[in-house]
Amino acid sequence: MKSTRRHFLKLGGLGGAAASAFPLTNLFAQPSLASTKPVVISTWNFGKEANVEAWKVLSANGRALDAVEKGVQVPEGDPKETSVGLGGLPDRDGRVTLDACIMDEFANCGAVACLEHIVHPIAVARKVMEKTPHVMLVGDGALQFALANGFKKEKLLTPESEKAWKEWLKEAKYKPVANIENHDTIGMIALDQKQNLSGACTTSGMAYKLHGRVGDSPIIGAGLFVDNEIGAATSTGVGEEVIRIVGSHLVVELMRQGNTPQQACEIAVKRVVKNQPEKSKQIQVGFLALNKNGEYGAYALQKGFTYAIQSPEIPNQIFESKSYY
């Protein structure tokens, strides 16, 4: 059985099947990683399959940039993942609009937002980075650019996601539920064997959002940030709250000030709580951080934020982060 997070939640993480997929000893445990490489870490349970592709690149001494681009394409192309790429839940008008960004060890970056009809927005973001003088293209402009660069126009709304949207329309209440799959993003950060960092972040955003809404995920500094001297960070959860604190940039700057990746993620999450003491009890926001030595951190507002990590010491596996609440 494919180990989706919903499956995990149903089993409460305690049943027999879940126990083999998520050994209880792993929950909250963080192996210490001093100067280890390569490392790849990515958000949520779908990160595990994504890491497999990233690891192929990293273990062959490839570039972290190529690893993260390949890795996040796994959930992007999976029609059963309803929060990323193909099969993503649509906005309230029934349109699947995708957001993605990518950043490399030279502070090169590229992003697309509100992009429709393209299965792999991360690959378009990389093309924006490499082929244009710009960082971000949005909407029709991003689509035109993608088509001009050989990407195929496809239908992203699957019958399942269309059905879920029609069901939602009956009440049409916009209320993102923490850890339920009406949102989620794959954010992936990696350190390669040459000790260079890169990251990628891609999502269909909050389901049933207003048409044109853009979250944190394609915003360099919010959903993703990489500084090859220090470290990299990525986020998931309610993007508006991450943008308000410029979350991933904050995490990297906190590491620059001497905090461990874990401390940096915790301070950033507490900043969300400080901004929105009441709202923060209802929503999810989570961060992953990786520093230049391959040490990592993970922290979220709510329980249930899982991530997948692989390094020479850790076979690709899923952990649950500590949380504020």
Q: Both tokens of residue 53?
A: 């592709």
Nearest residue to 118 (alpha-carbon basis) of 139, 135, 133, 103: 139
- 280 is an interface residue for ligand ASP by CB under 6 A: no
Give me the catalytic one of 185, 202, 203, 236: 185
Active site residue 4: no
Q: Which of 191, 251, 196 is nearest to 223 (CA)?
A: 251
Site for ligand ASP in 111-150 (CB under 6 A): none
When asked if residue 294 is in the footprint of ligand ASP (CB under 6 A), the reply is no
When asked if residue 78 is in the footprint of ligand ASP (CB under 6 A), the reply is: no
Among 87, 110, 199, 205, binds ligand ASP (CB under 6 A): 205
Closest listed residue to residue 323, CA positions, set 215, 236, 250, 243: 236
- Smallest distance from the beta carbon of 177 to ligand ASP, in angstroms? 11
Single residue of 40, 58, 136, 206 touching ligand ASP by CB under 6 A: 206
Q: How far apart are CA 184 and CA 45, in angstroms?
A: 11
8 A C-beta contact, residue 204 and residue 79: no
Decide the pairing of beta strands 39-43 and 98-103: unpaired
Taking the complex as a whole, the smallest distance from the CB of residue 88 to ligand ASP amounts, in Å, to 10
Smallest separation, CB 209 to ligand ASP (Å): 8
Comparing every residue's Cβ against ligand ASP, the nearest one is: 239
Least spacing, CB of residue 249 vs ligand ASP, in Å: 15
Length of the chain: 325
Distance CA 131, CA 112 (A): 13
Give the per-residue contact string, 216-235, with ligand ASP (x = CB under 6 A; - = no). xx------------------
List residues with catalytic annotation.
Answer: 185
